Amino acid sequence: METKEGEVVCDFCGKHQKFIESLVASKQGNKSVGICNECIERSYEIIVEARSEKQAQQAKAE
């Protein structure tokens, strides 16, 4: 998401780019969306956790 001044905020948590270490942006048509490093880190933790849970379940099933 871009503000009026062309500044970027995280579309996930709404944090302004001034307070963000790094932001990954992606263009969708004529609008751009962004996600900050904190949201990516949190998402990564959730993915890793979900994956290890799944693997633990599969190990039990075998």
51: amino acid identity, one letter: R
The answer to whether residue 8 forms part of the interface with Zn ion (CB under 5 A) is no
The answer to whether residue 2 forms part of the interface with Zn ion (CB under 5 A) is no
User: How far apart (Å, rounded) are the C-alpha atoms in residues 12 and 41?
Assistant: 12
The answer to whether residue 40 forms part of the interface with Zn ion (CB under 5 A) is no
Radius of gyration, alpha carbons of the chain = 17
The answer to whether residue 13 forms part of the interface with Zn ion (CB under 5 A) is yes
The answer to whether residue 36 forms part of the interface with Zn ion (CB under 5 A) is yes
Chain positions contacting Zn ion, by CB under 5 A:
10, 12-13, 36, 39
